A and B are shown apart, each in its own frame.
Chain A
Amino acid sequence: MTLDPRLLRRWVILLLLTVGALISILPFYWMVVAATHSNDELFHSPPPFVPGGHFISNIKALEHSIGFSRVMLNSVGIAVVYTLASGLISAMAGYGLAKYRFRGRGLLLGLVLTTMMVPFQVLLVPLFQMMSNLGWVNSYQAVIVPFLANSFGIFLMRQAFLDFPDELIESARIDGSGDIRTFYRIVLPVVKPQLGALAIFTFMSQWNAFLWPLLMLDSQDKYTAPVALYTLVGGTHVDYSGLILGSFLATLPLMLIFLIFQKQFVSGLLGGAVKE
């Protein structure tokens, strides 16, 4: 019996693919396992491979140590408010830049493009000083407001509106609809898919944000999930299963969003990458 070499090659590729996928996914499985074991069980030899029975007690410990539910609520609140506000501002600015010609338009477009090219760390020091002067340190608005004008979002929305037919806007105007009303009633509903993709992206980026919230927030009741998780690593006695449990719970929303909105996600991702 001889083996078709092409078939053999396929099996080798499949095997390598499986190994790669396992490496890719294993840490997630390990998160689930670790989150349900006590600290002692975790570093036993051999280590546990199946979920254990300490999930509830680990959650209680985590809640006790960093007020985890409060932290998650902060993260959700900040991410939602940021997503809605910056989405609206992006859509408005994108529309203004795509459909009107006015003095200062070129300058604004230039600012949008510059922000995309300048790394945000340059702003770290002066923004920190501004926030201190405004008395905003350790407040939610300090995390949200400075980055509300999101250049990626404005750029994305402008592209979307450029494709929107002018005739429709024109006819709405002839029918007596004001500019603002036209925008909310006629234009905005059409770009819902792009708005959705943008919302997913901004939510995820805000959910992930670490450096700026770390600088701004300094009391536990204001912490976002990444900041709280980081404070857990820093201590001398580290509660590893709590740490993993927290990481798992903090990652869960992102994974759910990704699994639900895969299509929008990938199309948004490719917005800047692939050109026909």
Chain B
Amino acid sequence: MATATAAPQRRRSPTEPATKWGVPHFRIVHWAFAGPAAALFVFFFAYPLGASLYQSFTSDDGGVQTWAGLAQYRRMLHDPVFWKSLWNTGLLLVFQVPLMIGLALVLACVLNQSWLRFKGTWRIAFFLPSVTMLVAYAVVFRVLLKTDGGMVNQALGWFGVSPVDWLNNPVWARVALIGTITWRWTGYNAVILLAGLQAIPKEQYEAAAIDGAGAVTTFRKVVIPQLRPVILFCSITSTIGTLQLFDENFVLTKGGPDNATMTPVLYLYKVGFDQMDFSYASAIAWAVVLIIGVLSVIQFRFFGQSDRAASTARSERRRG
């Protein structure tokens, strides 16, 4: 049926000659490129992913795995430490993420001011914390926050504040964790938001000025709608980062005091590798997956719809 002159039936990339030896053929060279990655993904991602899911439905008694159905998940529902780790994560999501994104937004707006000089230098100064080694900065903050003789308490002492037991008091340990994460990531988010700000066309500001809009109105009606996708990006990555939090609280407080800084991933680590309960650890891991998925979808819906509304409004304005 096929003739040498027949036009190819499907769209193809020009790098794929339809007939090299006169017949359609299976070319192995694709796999020379994609093969290594594919093999690695199957072996070190797809297989372990399945194994982990299976394992979350088992229970291991003395190294022997037996099918246990939903037993691990039921156990999780009645596990106060697990709930506390979620509660702590929720607190971070409610307090730390908005605080950080808000600060970053303000910072980005200031760094975007036309009168500001030495912009590059300011940007570097604020961005630098995010390129420190994760564990190293946690270590440094642990020393800075030492109750007796730590720099932070000494500095507070100059203002007559008595030493705060940063890492051993449940409330202050959370504050310390929030401060530490905010210190590291605010500048990073500000740089991303700044790039988003610079992508806003100048005409929009001018139009707002002509319409007599003040700084606050311009910010609300021009900057925020235009910046929405970037804010969405920052809040999704920050949310995922918070849900996966491990290094900081592991080094700062090991999840204590009284599990006040316990996070699901740290708990999963403790269950899996301190108590060697792999089944339960797997169930916790899947709970984390589920929560990240649900929260990402919610954020997408929340920001995505208003973004669509904003873009429709924009295109209508353009047409009009």
Instruction: Return the contact of A255 from the options B132, B140, B148, B268 (Cβ within 8 A).
Output: B132
The proximity string for B residues 88-120 relative to A, scoring 1 for CB distances below 8 Å and 0 otherwise, is: 000000000000000000010010010100000
Residues of B within 8 A of A125 (CB): 52, 55, 272, 278, 281-282, 285
Q: Quick check: B34 and A229 within 8 Å, CB to CB?
A: no
Instruction: Return the contact of A149 from the options B30, B40, B289 (Cβ within 8 A).
Output: B40
Q: How far is the CA of A115 from the CA of B49 in the complex (A)?
A: 10
Give the distance to chain B from A237, nearest Cβ to Cβ, in Å.
14
Instruction: Return the contact of A275 from the options B229, B269, B272, B278 (Cβ within 8 A).
Output: B229
Residues of B within 8 A of A24 (CB): 125-126, 128-129, 183, 187
Chain B: residues with Cβ within 8 Å of the partner, total of 91
- Closest B residue to A211 by beta carbon equals B246
Q: Quick check: A108 and B34 within 8 Å, CB to CB?
A: yes
Q: Quick check: B140 and A31 within 8 Å, CB to CB?
A: yes
- Please tell me if B265 contacts chain A, counting CB pairs below 8 Å: yes
Q: Quick check: A254 and B133 within 8 Å, CB to CB?
A: yes
The proximity string for A residues 132-161 relative to B, scoring 1 for CB distances below 8 Å and 0 otherwise, is: 000000000000011111000010000000
Residues of A within 8 A of B296 (CB): 117
Residues of B within 8 A of A255 (CB): 128, 131-132
- Closest A residue to B157 by beta carbon equals A45
- Please tell me if A90 contacts chain B, counting CB pairs below 8 Å: yes
Residues of B within 8 A of A101 (CB): 12-13, 16
Q: How far is the CA of A226 from the CA of B114 in the complex (A)?
A: 41
- Please tell me if B275 contacts chain A, counting CB pairs below 8 Å: no
Identify which of A59-67, A164-172, A191-199 touches chain B: A164-172
Give the interface centre of A24, A93, A180 by most chain B CB atoms within 10 Å. A24
Q: How far is the CA of A79 from the CA of B125 in the complex (A)?
A: 26
For the residues of B in contact with A, the DSSP-based class is helix
Q: Quick check: A170 and B135 within 8 Å, CB to CB?
A: no
Q: Quick check: B140 and A244 within 8 Å, CB to CB?
A: yes
Q: How far is the CA of A199 from the CA of B147 in the complex (A)?
A: 40
Q: How far is the CA of A246 from the CA of B136 in the complex (A)?
A: 8
Residues of A within 8 A of B285 (CB): 119, 121-122, 124-125
- Closest B residue to A243 by beta carbon equals B139
- Please tell me if A97 contacts chain B, counting CB pairs below 8 Å: yes
Q: Quick check: B13 and A100 within 8 Å, CB to CB?
A: yes
Q: How far is the CA of A106 from the CA of B280 in the complex (A)?
A: 34
Q: Quick check: B278 and A230 within 8 Å, CB to CB?
A: no
Give the distance to chain B from A245, nearest Cβ to Cβ, in Å.
11
Q: How far is the CA of A97 from the CA of B34 in the complex (A)?
A: 7
**With A118-B289, A124-B269 known to touch, is A28 a contact of B15 (CB < 8 Å)?**
no
Q: Quick check: A266 and B247 within 8 Å, CB to CB?
A: no
The proximity string for B residues 262-286 relative to A, scoring 1 for CB distances below 8 Å and 0 otherwise, is: 0001001100110000100110011
Q: How far is the CA of A55 from the CA of B187 in the complex (A)?
A: 30
Q: Quick check: A27 and B144 within 8 Å, CB to CB?
A: yes
CB neighbors of B among A169-212 (8 A): 169-170, 173, 179-180, 183, 204, 207-208, 210-211
Identify which of B66-74, B188-196, B205-213 touches chain A: B188-196
- Please tell me if B240 contacts chain A, counting CB pairs below 8 Å: yes
CB neighbors of B among A206-259 (8 A): 207-208, 210-211, 215, 225-226, 229-230, 232-233, 240, 243-244, 246-248, 250-251, 254-255, 257-259
Q: Quick check: B33 and A93 within 8 Å, CB to CB?
A: yes
The proximity string for A residues 102-115 relative to B, scoring 1 for CB distances below 8 Å and 0 otherwise, is: 11110010011011
- Please tell me if B160 contacts chain A, counting CB pairs below 8 Å: no
Q: Quick check: B41 and A111 within 8 Å, CB to CB?
A: yes
The proximity string for B residues 24-54 relative to A, scoring 1 for CB distances below 8 Å and 0 otherwise, is: 0011011111101110111011111101100
Residues of A within 8 A of B32 (CB): 92, 179-180
Give the distance to chain A from B244, nearest Cβ to Cβ, in Å.
5
Give the interface centre of A111, A117, A118, A274 by most chain B CB atoms within 10 Å. A274
- Closest A residue to B227 by beta carbon equals A274
Give the distance to chain B from A94, nearest Cβ to Cβ, in Å.
9
Give the distance to chain B from A265, nearest Cβ to Cβ, in Å.
8
Q: How far is the CA of A148 from the CA of B39 in the complex (A)?
A: 11
Instruction: Return the contact of A108 from the options B37, B133, B195 (Cβ within 8 A).
Output: B37
- Closest A residue to B233 by beta carbon equals A273
Among all A-B residue pairs, the 5 with the closest Cβ atoms? A96-B33, A43-B149, A96-B34, A93-B37, A247-B136
Beyond the given pairs A92-B33, A100-B13, A114-B45, 4 more chain A to chain B contacts, judged by CB atoms under 8 angstroms and listed by A's residue number, are A89-B40, A108-B41, A122-B288, A273-B233
Give A residues with C-beta under 8 Å from B: 10, 13, 17, 20-21, 23-25, 27-28, 30-31, 34, 42-43, 45-47, 89-90, 92-93, 95-97, 99-105, 108, 111-112, 114-115, 117-119, 121-130, 145-149, 154, 166-167, 169-170, 173, 179-180, 183, 204, 207-208, 210-211, 215, 225-226, 229-230, 232-233, 240, 243-244, 246-248, 250-251, 254-255, 257-259, 262, 266, 269-270, 272-276
